[in-house]
């Protein structure tokens, strides 16, 4: 439980995600994207480690960096 444990202020951040979709057929759509385009290093305010994570207690846990992804959606109707 991290309620009431404060490690100070958390700096603000901005993160940009881009994605696009292409309908390849009537029943299939290909979607691809990039999350955190500028590879910003940031942590949510309540995201921190505890003793079971193997990290120092109350250290910030940063969000993932740039992430590329793709998805194929198929409708079987």
CA distance 53 to 38: 27
pLDDT at 38: 97
> What does the alpha-carbon distance between residue 31 and residue 22 come to, in Å, rounded to a whole number?
6
Position 39 scores a pLDDT of 97
Mean pLDDT by 10 residues, the chain (77 residues): 62 94 97 97 79 70 93 95
CA 28, CA 11: separation in Å to the nearest integer? 42
CA–CA gap between residue 2 and residue 58 (Å, rounded): 9
- pLDDT number for residue 51: 57
- Residue 44 pLDDT: 84
In this prediction, residue 29 carries a pLDDT of 98
Q: Which tokens belong to 1?
A: 């439980």
pLDDT score at 47: 75
Model confidence, pTM: 0.71
């Amino acid at each position: 439980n991290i309620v009431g444990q404060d490690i100070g202020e958390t700096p603000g951040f901005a993160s940009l995600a881009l994605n696009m979709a292409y309908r390849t057929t009537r029943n299939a759509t290909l979607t691809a994207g990039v999350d955190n385009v500028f590879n910003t290093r940031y942590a949510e305010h309540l995201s921190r480690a505890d003793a079971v994570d193997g990290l120092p207690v109350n250290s910030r846990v940063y969000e993932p960096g740039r992430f590329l992804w793709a998805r194929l959606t198929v409708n079987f109707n």
